[in-house]
Amino acid sequence: MQLLELKEKEKVKVDWSESLILEGDVRNVVKQLPDNFYSSCITSPPYWGLRDYGYEGQIGAETLLEDFIQDLVEVFRAIRDKVRDDGTLWVNLGDSYTSGNRTWREKDKKNPAREMTYRPPTPAGLKPKDLIGVPWKVAFALQADGWYLRSDIIWYKPNCQPESVKDRPTQSHEYFFMFSKSEKYYYDHESIKEPAEAKGKLRNRRSVWQVNTEPFPEAHFATFPPKLIKPIVQASSPKDGYILDPFFGAGTVGVVCKSLNRNYHGIELNKDYINIAAKRIKKCPSPDPTLF
């Protein structure tokens, strides 16, 4: 695995056949990626108004929800050219509630990125306490932009964060939306079958996936549990295929790819997270029987 810094407009000769971590803003780096190349893109973009990553113009800090959605549509439009015609896109997004026009969030000692110097205003047409439905709004916008929306996988988290609310159920799921670039695409359903009720039989994978979250204290954001990513990598790419994660974070997609003999290209803005990801991937044997 190689680390590369890709500056805007700078043309670097890159050996794309290797697994790589590319340092930079996805909006610049994506232009330099090879066309029609990736079996799939698997990622979790920053959530809207939830984390302060401390960058000017960061995705997720748009005042208006429509601007956040538009930024993501543009990122994934550019990525569509890089995904093979038979490729897929898998996007994990969490939802949030309107802030009731509070414009900040208290310091969180355990997680400084949760301290917000801004809080987006309540989107037009919504009321205080409304669940915004961000994941679905993004999914519909990507669908309208040409992606085929193929599945809304519910990631059920039995060990979700407790909430002090008494007037609604505790939020215990997130979505993983599956899109394809074309009507026909690569999807190895055999590789991810699940046990059927009849003993010894297997059936097509269902759309609710129960996976506990796993703490990763070095990162100030939620990382994917490897168990959640394993079936996506298996179903969406052949052995030796290429997978892109444009919001690489602590590199879980890279770890899973390495363990399952897939190649990966990860894009990440933050040098500290790149170092965490690189160390983590280096330590991971291929295959890693302890990972899942």
Ligand X SMILES: C[S@@+](CC[C@H](N)C(=O)[O-])C[C@H]1O[C@@H](n2cnc3c(N)ncnc32)[C@H](O)[C@@H]1O
Q: Can you tell me which of 58, 143, 151, 234 binds ligand X, judged by CB under 6 A?
A: 58
Determine the angle formed by the axes of helices 226-236 and 252-259, rounding to 10 degrees: 60
Does 270 bind ligand X (CB under 6 A)? Our answer is yes
Q: Can you tell me which of 90, 155, 209, 224 binds ligand X, judged by CB under 6 A?
A: 224
Q: Could you give the CA distance from residue 253 to residue 268 in angstroms, rounded to a whole number? A: 12
Q: Could you give the CA distance from residue 36 to residue 46 in angstroms, rounded to a whole number? A: 25
DSSP state of 47: P
Q: Which stretch, 20-28, 137-145, 188-196, 197-205, contacts ligand X (CB under 6 A)?
A: 20-28
> Which residue number, 87 or 226, has a Cβ lying nearer to ligand X?
226
Q: For residues 118 and 104, is the Cβ–Cβ distance under 8 A?
A: yes
> Which residue number, 264 or 273, has a Cβ lying nearer to ligand X?
273
Does 252 bind ligand X (CB under 6 A)? Our answer is yes
- The distance of closest approach from Cβ of residue 273 to ligand X in the complex, given in angstroms and rounded to an integer, is 5
Q: Can you tell me which of 273, 278, 281, 284 binds ligand X, judged by CB under 6 A?
A: 273
> Which residue number, 58 or 172, has a Cβ lying nearer to ligand X?
58
Q: Which segments of the chain are extended strands (E)? A: 2-5, 20-23, 38-43, 83-93, 148-156, 173-180, 194-195, 202-203, 208-210, 242-245, 263-268
Q: Which stretch, 82-90, 104-112, 113-121, 268-276, contacts ligand X (CB under 6 A)?
A: 268-276
> Which residue number, 44 or 236, has a Cβ lying nearer to ligand X?
44
Scan residues 134-163 and list those touching ligand X (CB under 6 A): none
Residues 184-213, one symbol each (x = binds ligand X by CB under 6 A, - = not), give ------------------------------
Residue nearest to ligand X (CB): 249
Q: Can you tell me which of 72, 250, 260, 278 binds ligand X, judged by CB under 6 A?
A: 250
> Which residue number, 231 or 249, has a Cβ lying nearer to ligand X?
249
Q: For residues 241 and 95, is the Cβ–Cβ distance under 8 A?
A: no
Q: For residues 75 and 45, is the Cβ–Cβ distance under 8 A?
A: yes
Looking at residue 5, its amino acid is: E
Does 268 bind ligand X (CB under 6 A)? Our answer is yes
Q: Could you give the CA distance from residue 238 to residue 208 in angstroms, rounded to a whole number? A: 23
> Which residue number, 29 or 235, has a Cβ lying nearer to ligand X?
29
- The distance of closest approach from Cβ of residue 244 to ligand X in the complex, given in angstroms and rounded to an integer, is 12
Does 71 bind ligand X (CB under 6 A)? Our answer is no
With CA atoms as reference, report the closest residue to 229 among 194, 192, 266: 192
Q: Can you tell me which of 20, 38, 40, 46 binds ligand X, judged by CB under 6 A?
A: 46
DSSP state of 15: -
- The distance of closest approach from Cβ of residue 249 to ligand X in the complex, given in angstroms and rounded to an integer, is 3
- Are β-strands 83-93 and 38-43 bridged in parallel, bridged antiparallel, or unpaired? parallel
- What 3-state class would DSSP assign to 264? strand
